[in-house]
């Protein structure tokens, strides 16, 4: 029997802080517990929300972004998910119409109905005006509404009545226990001991209108050709990837691209004082939270010695954002304490309260532009001259510095390898920019 397709929804709101992640996680966990096959995507550049949503649904969460990922790749991912799942949920980014491109642009590109999340804690009948504004401004197709933080059944009913012809698909009461809050970015889901209990509680608290849910029509997007073949430019190469709580910002798509390039992947933990694995040809230090683990990293003698030896031996090393911070001379934490790092990159990193960089950017390479983004609260103080700068999207203004010293390429820029696999491959060779 042919697969009937999946119910597809983009979970969006008027602004950040309305409860998009909470609602998406609660809905995903609840449907999984009912035996549904659920796939979840995250709209826009993000690392932490996908970790949380992956915990909620039990499947890898990929990124959808019309600019960074691309229209065809997004379409392919959605089509594959709809063939494999009963439900496809996409968590939006910021407000529905925020950003270039926005979550609304994604919804319109693929004709995906929007599930509008409203923080109802400080409103009642005005919810109807907000939702109708969200619908008509674009316009977008509104599948229904989730009223978050409702105080009572009477409050929920007032919100429902205000929506007129738009169904109240679900509601959530004010939560006694919340999902982890962000600290200068985030707290990792794996660091919260009772995260699964919290997710189960949220699923239990979500009041889903079964009739309205059943009225949603499953869809099966058109069949698409496979990805274009990628030449095996990294065939025979072993890429050693730092992966632990300090180095955790890794797009699953980036690992897929490296494998398609022919690389063998192995992982190690600098936090556990593990050395760069023997036999590695390339080292990738992804972003994360080294600033939260400065003491452990500064004492990790095997790690520090091994990354210095890898650099001295000329192994290509890519250090992205947190990875770059971790190979500078030192990191000064938010309390003003300075911690020594391996000093592959001259200069010191200083944490600060205000945001140091945020937004979509692209890095020029001889193989074309590599798209990605930046997000950091620190600054690098160095006398080393950059070899290049990224370009901000959509303004075209100068973005992050890209440094090259020996075999090390370092920047605050996070690359999305699938946007240009050939450019990504160059970052793992001695011909890097």
Within 10 A of 244 (CB to CB), how many other CB atoms are there? 17
> H helices of 281-356, where?
294-299, 301-312, 322-325
The DSSP symbol for 179 reads P
Burial zone of 362 (CB within 10 Å; 0-12 exposed, 13-18 middle, 19+ buried) = buried
Spatial contact of 189 and 55, defined as CB atoms under 8 Å apart: yes
- The single residue of 43, 57, 74, 321 carrying the catalytic annotation is 321
Sign of CA dihedral 179, 184, 185, 188: negative
Q: Examine the residue annotation and report whether 266 is marked as an active-site residue of this protein.
A: no
Checking DSSP bridges between strand 345-351 and strand 357-363, what pairing results, if any?
A: unpaired
Closest CA to 117 of 131, 105, 107: 131
Q: Give the span between the Cα atoms of 299 and 345, in whole angstroms.
A: 18
Where would I find the beta strands (DSSP E) of 92-160?
Answer: 114-119, 142-150
Known catalytic residues are: 321
């Amino acid at each position: 029997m042919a697969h009937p397709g999946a119910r597809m929804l983009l979970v969006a709101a008027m602004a950040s802080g309305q409860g998009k992640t909470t609602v998406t996680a609660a809905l995903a966990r609840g449907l999984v517990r009912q035996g549904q096959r659920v796939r979840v995507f995250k709209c826009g550049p993000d690392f932490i929300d996908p970790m949380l949503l992956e915990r909620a649904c039990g499947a890898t969460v990929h990124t959808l972004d019309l600019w960074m990922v691309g229209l065809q790749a997004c379409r392919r991912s959605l089509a594959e998910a709809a063939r494999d799942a009963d439900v496809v949920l996409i968590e939006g980014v910021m407000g529905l119409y925020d950003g270039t491109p926005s979550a609304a642009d994604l919804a319109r590109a693929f004709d995906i109905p929007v599930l509008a999340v409203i923080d109802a804690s400080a409103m009642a009948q005005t919810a109807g005006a907000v939702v109708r504004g969200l619908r008509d401004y674009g316009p977008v197709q509104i599948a229904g509404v989730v009223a978050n933080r409702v105080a009572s059944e009477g409050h929920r009913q007032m919100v429902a009545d205000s929506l007129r012809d738009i169904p109240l698909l679900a509601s959530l009461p004010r939560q006694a226990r919340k999902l982890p809050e962000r600290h200068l970015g985030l707290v990792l889901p794996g660091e919260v001991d009772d995260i699964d209990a919290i997710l189960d509680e949220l699923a239990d608290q979500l009041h889903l209108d079964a009739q309205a849910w059943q009225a949603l029509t499953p869809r099966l997007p058109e069949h698409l050709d496979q990805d274009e073949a990628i030449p095996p430019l990294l065939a025979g190469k072993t890429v050693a990837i730092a992966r632990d709580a300090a180095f955790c910002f890794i797009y699953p798509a980036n690992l897929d691209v490296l494998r398609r390039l022919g690389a063998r992947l192995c992982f190690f933990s600098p936090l556990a004082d593990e050395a760069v694995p023997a036999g590695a040809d390339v080292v990738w230090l992804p972003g994360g939270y080294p600033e939260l683990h400065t003491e452990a990293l500064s004492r990790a003698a095997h790690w520090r010695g091994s990354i210095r030896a890898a650099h001295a031996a000329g192994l290509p090393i890519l250090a992205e954002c947190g990875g770059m911070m971790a190979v500078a001379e030192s990191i000064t934490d938010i309390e003003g304490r300075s911690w020594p790092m391996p000093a592959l990159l001259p200069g010191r990193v200083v944490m600060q309260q205000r945001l140091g960089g945020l937004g979509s950017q692209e890095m020029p390479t001889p193989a074309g532009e590599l798209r990605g983004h930046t997000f950091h609260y620190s600054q690098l103080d160095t006398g080393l001259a950059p070899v290049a700068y990224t370009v901000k999207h959509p303004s075209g203004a100068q973005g992050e510095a890209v440094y090259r010293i020996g075999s090390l390429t370092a920047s605050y820029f996070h690359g999305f390898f699938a946007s240009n696999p050939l450019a990504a491959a160059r970052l793992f060779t001695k011909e890097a920019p």
